[in-house]
Amino acid sequence: MTEQKLLLVDDDAVFVDVMARALEKRGFSVSRASNVDEAEALLQAQSFHKALVDLKMEGRSGLALIEAIQAQQPQCKVVMLTGYSSIATAVEAMRLGAYNYLCKPASLKDVLAAFDSPATSEVDVPDNPPSVERVEWEHIQKVLAENDGNVSATARALGMHRRTLQRKLLKKPVRQ
C-alpha cells in the first residue's frame, strides 16, 4: 500500500503536533499548515489524498480552503473540523465539497472514521452544545489573548465599546 498524503490545517499548534504524530504512526505522510495561505502553497507543491481542515483560523476561513482543494485536487477527501459547530457551517462545508464534518474535540479514532465513512445528511452536533453566552465568552478570551491582554485593542477587534467589553470581562465564565 502506498503512503497516504494528508494535509493538516489548523492554527492550534499543540493540536497539530499531537494529531500529526498520531497520524504518522498510522502510516500517513503529514504536511502541516497553520492557515489557508500556507495550505494553498502546499497544494501547489504536492498532491494529497486527504485533508483535515479547521474551520476558524487566523485570516481566511477553512471554507475557502475547501473550495481551493476541490478546484485543484478533486480526488482529495476533505474533513472539516471545528470547535464552533453549527448546522449552517456543516451544510456549507458539505455543499463546498467536504467529505465529512467533525466537531472538536475529536480523537484520532473520530478523524480516521470520518475519512472512512461517507458523509451523511445528518451532522453530529453534540447533545449539549455550548450556550451562545459561553461561545461569546470563549471568543472574547481568544481575541483578548491574541491582543496580549490589551482591552482597547480587543474592543476594536470585536467592534465593541471598550467599557462594554470591560463589563463582560468582569463577569465569571459562563458554564458549559
Q: Where are the domains of the chain?
A: 4-116, 132-170
Q: Which CATH number fits domain 4-116: 3.40.50.300, 3.40.50.2300, 3.30.930.10, 3.20.20.100?
A: 3.40.50.2300
Q: Class of 132-170 per CATH? A: mainly alpha
Q: Locate cell 477587534: which residue?
A: 157
Question: In CATH terms, are 4-116 and 132-170 the same topology?
Answer: no
Model confidence pLDDT, tens digit, residues 118-166: 655 454 555 666 677 777 877 888 888 888 889 999 999 989 999 999 9
Q: Are 76 and 53 in contact (CB under 8 A)?
A: no
Taking the whole predicted model, whether its pTM rises above 0.75 is answered as: no
Dihedrals φ, ψ of 101, to 5°? -140, 130
The percent of residues above 70 in pLDDT, for the chain, comes to: 89
